[in-house]
Amino acid sequence: MTSLVVVSFLIWCWLLTMHGQFWRAGPILPAAVPTQAPPVAIVVPARDEAPFIEATIRSLLAQNYPGSFHVTLVDDGSEDGTGAIVRAIGDQRLSVLTGSPRPAGWAGKLWALHQGVAASGAPEYFFLTDADIEHDVPHLASLVAMAERHDLDLVSEMVALYCDSWAEKVLVPPFVFYFQLLYPFARVNNPLCATAAAAGGTVLIRRRALMRIGGIEAVRGALIDDVALAGAVKAGGRIFLGHSALARSIRPYPGVADIWRMIARSAYAQLRFSPVLLAATMVAMALVWLVPPVAVLFGHGMTCFLGLITWAMFTAAYLPTLARFRRSFLWALLLPAITLFYMAATIGSAVNHYRGRGVVWKGRAYAGGTP
């Protein structure tokens, strides 16, 4: 046990000092107005989003962007009246495109985005955003200002996630924390680092960059589409990823089972459907998150002391994320138990895959799953 605790301690020393300051609750784009405001095409893919779509579209139409912009909703086979709700808004800056059937090899969201981009002409920027995101009035202008100021090909933000129910308060902040650990924002934003990522709810991309990589078609089969798109763009340009103070998700995940399904939907895809990567991930998570508290509870002397120090290190690293969600610092003490939940959901994702259920979202199956 002592050797395991020493390894865990050294890993956390490296993570906290050499891993892109992943624990920071930033950067955050301030509200800003671009000096130049080129045309923007906003594309919103939507499939059965009736509860959220009107709030999303109205927030986009309310943007105070000083340049021209147009919103295209791609109704991707909705059966709940999503398209009709948007058509009833009746704004000349708004179009509703009825999506065509998804070809083989395409992920549903990416096929919808591809159609929306193709129908949007030749603007300077495309703003790709989900159907369950509510945007503050200066959001679009702030994204374009960032891209123009630093000549960025892609600007993305992790929007504030819905966090109201007991389950969300416990399990959603760690989701953001783990994402930052996987993709430290400072490394994503450093053009000298290979790390690339984006958050699919808010992606502003230059047309020239999208054309350079071959359009949405370049990542057409990606199940982790935002990370794949960011990787393709960063190979030839600069990107930015931060936290948003100007946009928020309005989709709730009220119960533990809802969050389990959200994780299990794509966790094994993130591991490339590899049992070797799954096993390595489980070992690494246990070593990083579980060994220290076990050493505190069952170890003695130096083993217990090192476990306590290491537990304190990752607890402190979690505090900025809790502050962002306005949660008490005491929630940080639950990280080991929460890690067990995420490990179990990841294993559950693999079990679904090998049972032939694969990745299922909005009634569609990918990677061998069935609806």
pLDDT surpasses 50 at 371? no
Domain spans of the chain, in order of start? 2-21+257-366, 40-254
Percent of the chain with pLDDT over 90: 90
pLDDT surpasses 60 at 216? yes
Model confidence pLDDT, tens digit, residues 291-330: 999 999 999 999 999 999 999 999 999 999 999 999 999 9
pLDDT band at 362 (very low <50, low <70, confident <90, very high): low
Give the distance from CA 304 to its chain's centroid.
Answer: 36
Give the distance from CA 169 to its chain's centroid.
Answer: 18
Instruction: Please say whether the structural domain 40-254 has been given the CATH code 3.40.50.720.
Output: no
- 265 versus 125: which is more confidently predicted? 125
pLDDT given at position 370: 38
pLDDT band at 182 (very low <50, low <70, confident <90, very high): very high
For 317, residues 6+ apart whose C-beta sits below 8 A from its C-beta are: 12, 15, 16, 22, 23
State the average pLDDT over residues 222-239: 95
pLDDT given at position 23: 94
Q: Is 71 left (phi over 0), alpha (psi -120 to 50) or beta?
A: beta
Model confidence pLDDT, tens digit, residues 242-298: 999 999 999 999 999 999 999 998 899 889 899 999 999 999 999 999 999 999 999
pLDDT given at position 269: 87
Q: How far apart are the first and last CA of the chain?
A: 45
pLDDT given at position 363: 59
Average pLDDT, the chain: 94
**DSSP strand pairing (125-129 vs 40-46):** parallel
pLDDT given at position 225: 93
pLDDT given at position 186: 96
pLDDT surpasses 70 at 222? yes
State the average pLDDT over residues 122-130: 98
pLDDT given at position 366: 54
Torsion sign (Cα): 20, 21, 26, 27: negative
pLDDT given at position 358: 61
Q: 158 and 244 in contact (C-beta within 8 Å)?
A: yes
State the average pLDDT over residues 123-134: 98
For 177, residues 6+ apart whose C-beta sits below 8 A from its C-beta are: 23, 318, 321
Task: Give the alpha-carbon dihedral of 283, 351, 264, 270, to 10 degrees.
Answer: 60
pLDDT surpasses 90 at 191? yes
pLDDT given at position 47: 96
Q: 64 and 37 in contact (C-beta within 8 Å)?
A: no
Q: 133 and 204 in contact (C-beta within 8 Å)?
A: no
Instruction: Supply φ then ψ for residue 5, to 5 degrees.
Output: -65, -40
Model confidence pLDDT, tens digit, residues 64-114: 999 999 999 999 999 999 999 999 999 999 999 999 999 999 999 999 999
